[in-house]
A and B are shown apart, each in its own frame.
Chain A
Amino acid sequence: MPEKHKHVADKPDNAQNANAPAEETAAVVSVDTAGGAMEPSAVPATAQSGQLPGGPDTLMRKIFTGSGMVSVLAVLLALIIGGLLIASTDERVSTTAGYLFARPTDFLGAVWNAATRSYIALFQGSVFNPRGNGLALQFAPLMETLTIATPLITAGLGVALAFRAGLFNIGGQGQIIMAGIVAAWVGFALDLPVGLHLLLVLVAGIIGGAVWGGLVGLIKARTGAHEVILTIMFNYIALYFLRYLLNTPAFQRPGESNPISPILDPTAVYPQILGTQYRLHLGFVLAIAATVLVWWLLNRSTVGFEFRAVGANPKAAQTAGINVSRSTILVMALAGGLAGMAGVAQVAGTEKVLTDGVAATYGFDAITVALLGRSTPWGTFAAGLLFGAFRAGAVQMQIQTGTPIDIVLVVQSLIVLFIAAPPLVRAVFGLNPRKKKSTPKKGSKTGSRETAQAAAGGAA
């Protein structure tokens, strides 16, 4: 489907010139080719991103909303390279490398073994462990994956939603922290009946995140300050505010000198939905609900229509009577609220206390998740699950094979790298169907050969 869409999309700029005066087409080509020095990319830059004004934003947009195929291939490619890295540190691989030329098969076998062993361990640690005692334990890793994925999904949705409205929300971290602070306080300081207490924890957390995100939107709308800078600064403010609070009597656990809060009341924590043997809690169900909600909001509501219009072409949105400032504030508040759900999942679900590590790196990983998910709700959901699996499986991988956990971070980083460079991924997999038939093949081998043939034909 995206393939088809792209194909349609690259027609007008390249071919018809219907709406592109020559200069524009020329400009497109020279942008794509660095003034003719390089082969043009498969789809002209302008076609990939629609008709959007602006340079860097357009690029970001392209990276965030490109084809889903590239995402899949990027993951695959990152895993392959990750595998090679694993192999490169493997003892047997280095031993066999010593007599590589004598018996290359030994070496290749060792490489294959090292990589696959680690990945099998990763899989066993994240989805299904055949050595488990009974079905329940065999699926324990999957439950762990879902648990870890919960905050990734909701925080990722926050980034994705903001991005669809044209805002680059780096502030997931701060929003999670602020939500965590509020939710935790409601959880341990108030004494409320079952049900109501948890509901209040959830609502308070969401509002905490929403206010923190909405403030960024407000400042941006009122003063024009850039949201990237604002959210980064807000992350610091939130983190150090949290550290300060954890040393005040209101938040520090009595009799404790470490910066840690009291444990949340049992009435304030998410129930474990599949029994006490798994950490998986209600937050995961809420994450699914949030995904559905965001999907509906984006695709079926006037609010989402406004967000998308503002994100894709703020000037046209404004001309059509959409209040861009209001959209900015609202979408940042909603994004903050979603990140806030991640904060609640942490304090009321997984950890049950507030520490200064409440957000871990979820706020930043959320950006990667949204990126991999192409800023679509279900894409983000899937990417959240994948990253949850990496996290959950990495531990098992280290235990079983001694492969360092860091390799997972390398793989995650590689994924981002490849998503940011789609032509690279397509080139590596030799999948550039459009390139062969629909792009100007200036300077390419085939192109010159054709020209040469034509020239020869003309001379003859």
Chain B
Amino acid sequence: MVRVLKLELRGITKRFGSLLANDHIDVVVEPGQIHCLLGENGAGKSTLMNVLYGLYDPTEGQILIDDAPVSFRGPGDAMAAGIGMVHQHFMLVPVFTVAENVALGAESTKAGGFLNLEDTRRKIREISDKYGFDVDPDALVEDLPVGVQQRVEIIKALVRNAKVLILDEPTAVLTPQETDELLDIMRQLKSNGTSIVFISHKLREVKAVSDTITVIRRGKVVGTADPSAATTELASMMVGRAVNLTLDKAPAQPQETTFQVRDLTVIAPNGTHTVDGISFDIARGEILAIAGVQGNGQTELTEAILGLQDRVAGSVTLDGKELLGRSVKEVLHAGVGFVPEDRKVDGLVGTFSVAENLVLDLYDKAPFAKGISMSPAKVLENANSRIKEFDVRTPAAGAAAGTLSGGNQQKVVMARELSRPLRLFIASQPTRGVDVGSIEFLHRRIVAERDQGTPVMIISTELDEVMELADRIAVLYKGKLVGIVPAGTGRDVLGLMMAGISPEDAAHADNTRTGAAPSGSATSTATAEGGDHA
């Protein structure tokens, strides 16, 4: 049995210039507990954890371990004190084996300074057996699925004798099934005496696994909650006002089909088919959501439609006109609004002002330009009205877009793309990294666009989002379309489909598992709709 450890953060204040990131935060992580820090993006959770992990010095306040104050000068100190952290994006060397990754930074050596990997392998096997991780110490990390890579990170922390494990948004990269597995692992770790600080903004997971919930808003602890608290209650604590978690949307009124994709195939430079013979339609006034675990061809699909992919086959037509083989500019001018999945990389120029970003794909159009001469006044005018309309929180229209919070950056991209008449709207991960309050707003805008009669295509890895927005759901797996199912399809069926199981089998498996046949009609519709792609 590992020694249990009590961790306390007392009056932690972290100030960056005039900005107060953490304001007298008190958190006590009792030994052997799963303590959840719940808060929106930008609430200060990450800053707090960086203070705890020794990456930042607190401006005020102290960290106590077993009631004794400690100070960390760096992650090394934190690790030595028994604190381990699993970052959202893994800190693993892809071409190293699991054992090499685990040993990295804490290598045990034989006489003469030779690396003793056998020792590390033995430890990995011990931990893996104990928790049922099923991790092979000699597997290359790059060959492992994301969920297993995450376990490697956890092993890394455990090998270093972490008594308190910080998990920073650990479920962001996982499928629903992998998420459930992770939650199980967390419970096991807890029963073995490891405390866990679980950072998340996903209420369902938080409620499922936490012992205590501390809600942080704008750098302050706004309260603690019991996991049995209602979801809406937690959400409103997190956001600071009543939040409508379910989107009120009228049923879709699909009109004629104007957007058609036929046998679309995208070939990657290495010859693999990242998108493999996909066909679907979207009618005007309808939202088709594309679900799937990250990296199953979603990016390539949208890029192919936009004209960013070179090696494509098949056909994509909008209003009867072929889009494949046209330049991005031509596609945009055909009336396509596009919100890329990674706003920082593809959607915004971080050093440009908000105003400039708001015309990033309209800069050469009237009224912003006459010939090649641009009108800064018009650009600014446009910016001010968009900022107002979309409630973008920015110090000024001239502020660099990179300085805004994620939610506001996303609003800038959305505002730009929705500010012209559209014939098709494609949004990839429209609310990734966006706070709950903004999600609500952005979702309403998307539905409003649909109601204006625009065909809408949403690509999301968040099942909640897919289920909320979609009028129909298409699931991608390894570049292929697993099937298209109606909006009401259950989470479990979708989860299985995301693992590549056909809608019929998924529905069947789900029925046998739950021992009931909840929605026979939905299943048959699913089969019908998905049938032509099987």
A257 within 8 A of B: no
Query: CB distance A454 to B363 under 8 Å?
Result: no
Closest residue to A457 on the B side, CB-wise? B62
Query: CB distance B168 to A21 under 8 Å?
Result: yes
B473 within 8 A of A: no
Secondary structure of the A contact surface, majority rule: helix
Kindly identify which residue among A21, A306, A309, A312 contacts B89, using a CB–CB cutoff of 8 Å: A21
Q: How many of chain B's residues have a CB under 8 angstroms from any CB in A? A: 81
Query: CB distance B55 to A451 under 8 Å?
Result: no
Closest residue to A444 on the B side, CB-wise? B57
A5 CB contacts on chain B under 8 angstroms: 400
A51 within 8 A of B: yes
Query: CB distance B57 to A450 under 8 Å?
Result: yes
Kindly identify which residue among A317, A441, A444, A455 contacts B349, using a CB–CB cutoff of 8 Å: A317
Cα A24 to Cα B361 in complex, Å, equals 28
Closest residue to A313 on the B side, CB-wise? B349
Tell me the chain A residues, 7-56 only, with Cβ under 8 Å from chain B: 7-12, 14-26, 29-30, 35-37, 47, 49-53
Kindly identify which residue among A17, A19, A305, A434 contacts B47, using a CB–CB cutoff of 8 Å: A17
Cα A14 to Cα B18 in complex, Å, equals 12
B16 CB contacts on chain A under 8 angstroms: 10-11, 14-15, 438-439
B332 CB contacts on chain A under 8 angstroms: 320-321
User: How distant is B527 from chain A, measured CB to nearest CB, in Å?
Assistant: 37
Query: CB distance A50 to B400 under 8 Å?
Result: yes
A454 CB contacts on chain B under 8 angstroms: 58, 60-62, 69
Query: CB distance A22 to B46 under 8 Å?
Result: yes
Cα A268 to Cα B286 in complex, Å, equals 69
A438 CB contacts on chain B under 8 angstroms: 16-17, 19
A300 within 8 A of B: yes
User: How distant is A421 from chain B, measured CB to nearest CB, in Å?
Assistant: 21
B122 CB contacts on chain A under 8 angstroms: none
B356 CB contacts on chain A under 8 angstroms: 305
A437 CB contacts on chain B under 8 angstroms: 15, 17-18
> What mask results when residues 376 to 389 of chain B are scored 1 for a CB within 8 Å of chain A, else 0?
10000000000000
A116 CB contacts on chain B under 8 angstroms: none
Query: CB distance A22 to B87 under 8 Å?
Result: yes
Tell me the chain B residues, 168-190 only, with Cβ under 8 Å from chain A: 168-169
A320 CB contacts on chain B under 8 angstroms: 328, 332, 360-361
User: How distant is A135 from chain B, measured CB to nearest CB, in Å?
Assistant: 42
B373 within 8 A of A: yes
Cα A22 to Cα B166 in complex, Å, equals 11
A190 within 8 A of B: no
Closest residue to A11 on the B side, CB-wise? B19
B64 CB contacts on chain A under 8 angstroms: 458
Query: CB distance B347 to A316 under 8 Å?
Result: yes
Contact A309 to B349, CB < 8 A, known contacts A16-B405, A300-B376? yes
A98 within 8 A of B: no
User: How distant is A294 from chain B, measured CB to nearest CB, in Å?
Assistant: 14
Interface residues on A, range: 35 or more
Query: CB distance B364 to A36 under 8 Å?
Result: no
B463 within 8 A of A: no
> What mask results when residues 413 to 447 of chain B are scored 1 for a CB within 8 Å of chain A, else 0?
00000000000000000000100000000000000
Closest residue to B371 on the A side, CB-wise? A302
Query: CB distance A15 to B47 under 8 Å?
Result: yes
Cα A454 to Cα B373 in complex, Å, equals 59
Tell me the chain B residues, 157-208 only, with Cβ under 8 Å from chain A: 168-169, 199
A301 within 8 A of B: yes
A321 CB contacts on chain B under 8 angstroms: 327-329, 331-333, 361
Query: CB distance A15 to B345 under 8 Å?
Result: no
Cα A321 to Cα B330 in complex, Å, equals 8
Kindly identify which residue among A10, A22, A49 contacts B50, using a CB–CB cutoff of 8 Å: A22
B351 within 8 A of A: yes
A319 CB contacts on chain B under 8 angstroms: 306, 308, 328, 338, 340, 346-347, 361
Interface stretch (choices B70-78, B113-121, B247-255, B477-485): B70-78
Closest residue to B331 on the A side, CB-wise? A321
> What mask results when residues 316 to 335 of chain A are scored 1 for a CB within 8 Å of chain B, else 0?
11111111000000000000
B404 within 8 A of A: yes
Query: CB distance B44 to A17 under 8 Å?
Result: yes
A442 within 8 A of B: yes
Query: CB distance B69 to A455 under 8 Å?
Result: yes
Query: CB distance B88 to A21 under 8 Å?
Result: yes
B46 CB contacts on chain A under 8 angstroms: 17, 20-22, 25
Query: CB distance A323 to B405 under 8 Å?
Result: no
Cα A10 to Cα B308 in complex, Å, equals 32
A105 within 8 A of B: no
Cα A395 to Cα B90 in complex, Å, equals 59
A440 CB contacts on chain B under 8 angstroms: 55-57
18 A-B pairs in the complex with CB atoms less than 8 angstroms apart: A15-B21, A17-B41, A24-B89, A25-B50, A26-B87, A29-B56, A30-B55, A36-B73, A50-B351, A302-B369, A302-B373, A302-B374, A319-B347, A437-B15, A438-B16, A448-B57, A452-B71, A454-B69
Give chain A's interface residues, CB within 8 Å of chain B: 5, 7-12, 14-26, 29-30, 35-37, 47, 49-53, 300-303, 305-306, 308-309, 312-313, 315-323, 434, 437-444, 447-448, 450-452, 454-455, 458-459
Q: Across chains A and B, which 8 residue pairs bring their CB atoms closest together, nearest first? A: A18-B405, A18-B42, A51-B350, A36-B74, A15-B16, A50-B351, A22-B46, A438-B17
A22-B46, A323-B327 given; name 10 further pairs at CB < 8 Å: A10-B17, A14-B21, A15-B17, A21-B168, A52-B350, A316-B348, A321-B329, A321-B333, A322-B329, A458-B62
